Amino acid sequence: MSVRLDVPVLAGDLVRLEPLAMRHAPELAEAVEEDRSSYDFTLVPRAHEIPDYLAAQLSRDGLTPFAQVRLSDGRAVGCTGLWDPRGWPDRPGLRAIEIGFTWLAASAQGTGINAEAKLLLLSYAFDVLGVARVDLKTDARNHRCRRALERLGIPFEGVLRAWSMSWARGEKGKVRDSAMFAVVAEDWPTVKPVLQARLTRSCREISGL
């Protein structure tokens, strides 16, 4: 099912998810060069590649991309998206979707922005779109990302071998094993308060309470 969703701006206390646009390019070009040590397995462009990267994201079939705007300073510090929407075989509406193409500047990592962005996207997917499942996946070797998803209470489902294209350095054109995570509708009432509690802790740490 190829569709670009008409999602409004999704705003929380730490981050605002805005439909991605070329106007975000200058700030994202700065964000990607802060510290790239956490990007070993993730598709994150270099500063000079940002215009082409944004053009590709905006034209990618089945992707609804967002800029992650940090509310404390109003700057775009990363991207994320709703990806690969799948419909029901016998009725209108979405059955499942994926959260993907996510990255954050080094200064935005560990600040609660990731948790709140996931909360905003999952809430929209389950509470507005009414999906039955939201997928998240990462390179099976990306233990940093896997630990982050586990801390957010998102269930791990297993590793699918040779499942996705690799974004690791020096592996262009190769496939990777993907660690699969997902939240299904039955999980959401349990996962949502875990995300909210994680976000509350992050806000307290930031405010020094």
Q: What is the mean pLDDT of residues 187-201?
A: 90
Residue 186 pLDDT exceeds 70: yes
- pTM for the model: 0.93
Residue type at 116 in one-letter notation: E
- Which of 7-11, 41-45, 168-172, 178-182 has the weakest average pLDDT? 168-172
CA–CA gap between residue 147 and residue 167 (Å, rounded)? 19
pLDDT given at position 163: 94
pLDDT given at position 198: 84
Q: Is the dihedral of CA 42, 35, 150, 142 positive or negative?
A: positive
- The residue extents of the domains of the chain are 10-207
Given CATH 3.40.630.30, say whether it is the number of domain 10-207: yes
Other beta carbons within 10 angstroms of residue 74's beta carbon come to: 9
pLDDT given at position 2: 58
pLDDT digits (tens, 9 = 90+) for 130-159: 999 999 999 999 999 999 999 889 999 999
Q: Are strands 175-184 and 10-11 parallel, antiparallel or unpaired?
A: unpaired
Residue 207 pLDDT exceeds 60: no
Within 8 A by CB and 6+ apart from 75, the residues are: 27, 31, 69
pLDDT digits (tens, 9 = 90+) for 59-114: 999 999 999 999 999 999 999 999 999 999 998 999 999 999 999 999 999 899 99
Q: What is the mean pLDDT of residues 174-179?
A: 96
Q: What is the mean pLDDT of residues 167-182?
A: 92
Within 8 A by CB and 6+ apart from 145, the residues are: 41, 42, 138, 139
Helix axes 113-123, 188-207, angle to 10 degrees: 150
Q: In percent, how much of the chain has pLDDT > 70? A: 95
